[in-house]
Amino acid sequence: MTRRQFVGGGASALAALAASCTPSQTAEKQQPHIVLLMGDDHGWEETGYNGHPFVKTPVLDEMASSGLRLDSFHSASPVCSPTRGSVMTGRHPNRYGTFAPGWSFRPEEITIAQLLHDAGYACGHFGKWHLGAVKAESPLNPGAMGFDEWLSHDNFFEINPTLSRNGAPPERYEGESSEIVVNEAIRFIDEQSQAGKPTFTVIWYGSPHEPYSGLPADLALYDALPQSYQEQSTTLTSMETGAQVQRPLREVLRERYAEITAMDRSIGKLRQHLADAGLRDNTLVWYCGDNGTPLSGQAGVSPLRGMKADVYEGGTRVPGVIEWPARIGAPRTTDVNSVTSDTLPTLCDLVGIPLPSRPLDGISLKPLIDGQMTERPTPICFWNYDIAHERAANLEPYLDPALQVGTTPLVKLMDGIATRNFVNFRHTEITEQDYAGARTILDNRYKLVIDADAETELFDLRSDMGEKTNLIDSQPEAAALQRQLRTWQESVLHSLTGADYA
């Protein structure tokens, strides 16, 4: 059964339903427009509504005060490419070998864009892709994975970004990057909605990933950062040379926060346009980060332990908010655990299309959106796969390496080049070493952490959000959680062999 066959007839079924309804009935049954927004390296604490003492995010604050505020929302991974794969597939990224930044996913994966496309949606992607090359010949570009239109980058981007439109050779776009991708998304939504189609629009920002830059007005908002930051230094990429440099933390944070504010303003522009176009009430807008705050953005103000790349809360807990006035009529805040892998099953449930018949790690949050969920029915598992082991195994590349070569340049140099290439390998046999790597399991109260050296910790997140007190020797829950985590790993590794594609 092909991906298209799996949901075949979705568009025709919608058309038949519309034809059988009166105009008023059709309006009542109209499918929502859907917009997914994701910040790049935007940590949980870096919003006004989560109490950051300096960052100004008035639009996200307004969304959090008017929609569904997800206070315990997590990225499926503490780094970017894997998290983005989880949004697209509803599956943990280790199931298909997207272990780390620059590790692609696989063409056999079924994406939410493919499912919504087959259900009659027009699908557009704008901004960071980072799941494979965006060029036309790539079998992993946004078009190959379900999007009708895309203006995208292989990785992250800054002011005046270089982007590829529908796989064409990259072109430079002048201006602030968050505004550029939002303007493209607005154009897409307008064109498709005027043609009578519901839209699925993915906006994955390049901000606030380092290196940092900002418009003068945004930078000026942060002129009064504490002088104590000037006495500290941090390492990041130079905007001038693309190499690593040491700079005063105060200057770096000023630029980082300016990027966050510019991104926030672009979300406001999108929301205002949806209102002006009469689309806002029936548009689901979902914002989240892709992982925790990186080292270069650490300001010592987060209550969370860890940072980007860690499996502690500082690596995976990210801002999360859903706004949908037609469905979420009153503001609510929830501490129910949720994760980026929930995106696909949630949207399928809301639109009324079947799930792919393969293991998923996310669940539908429709009951949470409707105020009917008080606890998560299944735990969430996280796992930093041991990529050094994977590389050392000398496995066969999953795709022709030429197809994995990126084309869109960025400021940060890697191995002396400004573009990014991707890898993924065929992994047909499983050994005990494949279970290694830092991993965690999170239920409605406890979080079990096994680090890369197999040391084990247990935290009660209800009373210890900062993961300061290890309860491993005093709570009997640890053994059961460890068994559940191992069982889950067995399922993930079965998927990694490609068994789900048979």
Take residue 46 and report the two structure tokens written for it.
């870096």
Residue type, 284: L
pLDDT for 24: 30
Assign 257 to helix, strand or coil.
helix
Tell me, yes or no, whether 468 lies in a domain: no
pLDDT-based confidence at residue 50 (cuts at 50, 70, 90): very high
Residue 200 pairs with which residues in a beta bridge?
Answer: 34, 123
Convert the pLDDT of each residue in 349-393 to its tens digit.
999 999 999 999 999 999 999 999 999 999 999 999 999 999 999
For the chain, give the longest Cα–Cα distance: 69
Average pLDDT over residues 254-261: 98
pLDDT-based confidence at residue 462 (cuts at 50, 70, 90): very high
Convert the pLDDT of each residue in 409-421 to its tens digit.
999 999 999 999 9
Residue 25 has pLDDT above 70, yes or no: no
- Angle, helix 249-276 to helix 58-66, in steps of 10 degrees: 50
- Tell me what percent of the chain is helix, strand and coil, each rounded to the nearest 5: 35, 20, 50
Indicate the average pLDDT of the chain. 94
Take residue 393 and report the two structure tokens written for it.
């195994």
pLDDT for 249: 98
pLDDT for 10: 33
Average pLDDT over residues 190-209: 98
Average pLDDT over residues 152-172: 98
Convert the pLDDT of each residue in 56-97 to its tens digit.
999 999 999 999 999 999 999 999 999 999 999 999 999 999
CATH number of the domain residue 158 falls in: 3.40.720.10
Residue type, 283: T
From first CA to last CA, the distance across the chain in angstroms is 9
Take residue 78 and report the two structure tokens written for it.
């503490």
Take residue 244 and report the two structure tokens written for it.
């690593």
Q: Cis bond leading into 208, ω under 30°?
A: yes
Instruction: Return the minimum-mean-pLDDT range out of 16-20, 225-229, 414-418.
Output: 16-20
Take residue 497 and report the two structure tokens written for it.
């062999």
Q: What angle do CA 140, 142, 143 make, to 5 degrees?
A: 95
From the list 86, 120, 90, the residue with the least C-alpha distance to 290 is 86
Asked whether the whole model's pTM tops 0.85, one would answer yes
The C-alpha atoms of residue 453 and residue 462 are separated, in whole angstroms, by 26
CB atoms within 10 A of CB 451: 16
Tell me, yes or no, whether 4 lies in a domain: no
CB atoms within 10 A of CB 434: 19
CB atoms within 10 A of CB 42: 31
The C-alpha atoms of residue 136 and residue 145 are separated, in whole angstroms, by 12
C-alpha gyration radius of the chain: 22
Residue 468 has pLDDT above 50, yes or no: yes
- Dihedral Cα 110, 2, 125, 351, nearest 10 deg: -70
Residue 12 has pLDDT above 70, yes or no: no
Residue 302 has pLDDT above 50, yes or no: yes
Q: Are 73 and 106 in contact (CB under 8 A)?
A: no
Tell me, yes or no, whether 19 lies in a domain: no
pLDDT for 20: 35
From the list 355, 199, 374, the residue with the least C-alpha distance to 270 is 199
The C-alpha atoms of residue 49 and residue 47 are separated, in whole angstroms, by 5
pLDDT for 11: 34
Residue 242 has pLDDT above 90, yes or no: yes
Convert the pLDDT of each residue in 99-124 to its tens digit.
999 999 999 999 999 999 999 999 99
pLDDT-based confidence at residue 223 (cuts at 50, 70, 90): very high
pLDDT for 343: 99
Tell me, yes or no, whether 63 lies in a domain: yes
The boundaries of the domain holding residue 319 are 31-379
What are the C-alpha distances in Å from 89 to residues 127, 281, 285, 299, 459?
18, 27, 19, 34, 29
Tell me, yes or no, whether 16 lies in a domain: no
Spell out where 75-211 has E strands.
Answer: 122-128, 149-153, 162-165, 171-172, 199-204
CA 172 to chain centre: 25
pLDDT for 29: 63
Q: What angle do CA 200, 104, 261 make, to 5 degrees?
A: 55
The C-alpha atoms of residue 502 and residue 491 are separated, in whole angstroms, by 15
pLDDT for 22: 32
**Share above pLDDT 70 across residues of the chain, in percent, rounded to a whole number:** 94
pLDDT-based confidence at residue 2 (cuts at 50, 70, 90): very low
- Angle, helix 177-194 to helix 249-276, in steps of 10 degrees: 20
DSSP state of 16: H
Average pLDDT over residues 39-52: 98
Take residue 162 and report the two structure tokens written for it.
């270089």
Backbone angles phi, psi at 44, to 5 degrees: -55, -40
DSSP state of 146: T
CB atoms within 10 A of CB 21: 13
The C-alpha atoms of residue 337 and residue 368 are separated, in whole angstroms, by 10
Domain count along the chain? 1
pLDDT-based confidence at residue 335 (cuts at 50, 70, 90): very high
Take residue 371 and report the two structure tokens written for it.
């105020």
Residue 237 has pLDDT above 90, yes or no: yes
- Dihedral Cα 438, 441, 447, 452, nearest 10 deg: -10
Backbone angles phi, psi at 353, to 5 degrees: -125, 150
From the list 137, 123, 110, the residue with the least C-alpha distance to 7 is 110
Tell me, yes or no, whether 437 lies in a domain: no
Backbone angles phi, psi at 322, to 5 degrees: -120, 130
**Share above pLDDT 90 across residues of the chain, in percent, rounded to a whole number:** 94
Convert the pLDDT of each residue in 124-142 to its tens digit.
999 999 999 999 999 999 9
